Structure 1
Amino acid sequence: MSLVSRNDPGKLVLIILSLLVIVLILHQHNASKRFAVSGDLSESLQLIYPCNPRDPETTTKSTNSTSPDIPNVIHQVWKTADVKTYTTLPFEPSHDLWKSMFRPVNYTVKLWTDDDVLHLMKTRYPWLLSTYEGYPQNIQRADLARLAIVHAEGGIYADLDVYPRNTTVMRCLQDLKLQNIFAPTGGGLGLSNHFFMAERGSPLLLLSLYEAKRRGGPEARQVLLLPYLKVFWTTGPMMVTAAFRKYAWLYEGQGKSVGLLDPSQGFVVVV
């Protein structure tokens, strides 16, 4: 029994298109499973629950006597120096809020433009330049830029739609003396790159840059068809989480130098 009549080519086209969609969905599902990271991250890093600041007197003495391993520098990235062109309606870009909250407590807040990042790539990471320039999407360049910036200078990175809530807790996180601290992805299953902090020259960030270089090759173009999945896998949270797993395996015992904010703790620091 025929599924369609010979006199009804429209139904035949519809069925063919439906089958193609099903094949595409199955293909991307299998690809995402192939590239997904599995396993419990809590066994390899330090989970950070509510960070309780020390008493004000102790904190003041510590701030005046020693410098944190993670510098008091907040990095943000945008195309130009005019952050007003960044739109996430109904919200305003967070750059001015970071400046008003953190400059009075001795933090530097920097905005990196496309020209600044390109100069950094050419002077500090020439081996990454072709990968950076070859990305088809701006978000991929922004993802790579934030890793290179914090690796080069150390400090704290925050997307322009990430808003600070508490300067004291931020300093408390720095006082933990971890090499890297990341916000979690949904459900705490991975490391997110929308908010993180690290020491200058962080080995994990360097490994992440190498991993991004590797994933910038032809494999992603051949296997990953959906743009959002390609971004996540080449430069986003999937890549960073996979780089951490390699780091924890290569440097056994060093994974505990990496902290992951408890999902509830993240909202205490930023929102």
Structure 2
Amino acid sequence: MSVFSDNIRFLRAKKKATQQETADAVLLSRVRYSKYEDGRSEPPYEVLIRISKHYNLSIDLLLTVDIRKYPVEDILQLPDNRIILPVVIDREGNNYIEIVTQKASMGYLSGYSDPEYIESLQQISLPFLTNGKYRAFPAQGDSMPPFKDGSYIIGKYVENMEDLKPDKSYVFVTLNDGISYKRFKARHKISITVAADNSFYKPYDIPLGEIVEIWQYASGIFPEDFEPDYSGNYNLQDMFLELRKDIRNLDDKFSNLK
């Protein structure tokens, strides 16, 4: 038996359909279809496509993920059937939140759709974060104040691009930049414009085709030694960044004079 054969047997049972009814729906004989369910034969591409369309599940899921472990209804509601594991709650009814550590973030682009990778992540629960799917990502670099190295940004999964709100903060997972925390500015036909909260960095566009996931900022986890800066004084790094910003502005002015 294979994952594929187990999956189609399970899906047929969920539909309460006979092998003959399913075979007719995917344009096969019952004998040929039964061989796929029993694992005695592997279907060609054209048959895989028909079965995938019949169950409204991606071929990738049918071939690689034991969907018996997850509520089919939740999988069907996800864009392109990508695996964002269904919300799991503890005994008190609190959501579990996966923590993508700095080390785990290196493999997130290849593991975000792998149930085993997601299940391997550390988990916490916060009672004030409910009604959604949440995940925590590590802050990196100096472009996302007040988050510094050692902090975690907790995001709520955004299913539809239309739900993005101007000037709200999001974690964008993209093919080129990986995990980044930015403020959404505008949507265009083939891209979106985002900006860092650190004014030194210019806004830039992300092509829609590069976006893998979007998580709206919901909360933060800060390191033990974190102290908000209410004084308005700059540290050396801030002064250095301001100096770089001034130099860049001068370069822009000279370029415009040419």
Q: Is TM more than 0.5 here?
A: no
Q: Look at both structures and tell me which one has the larger radius of gyration over its CA atoms.
A: 2
Higher RCO by CA contacts (8 Å cutoff, separation 6 or greater): 1
TM-score computed with the length of structure 1 as normaliser: 0.19
Higher helix share: 1
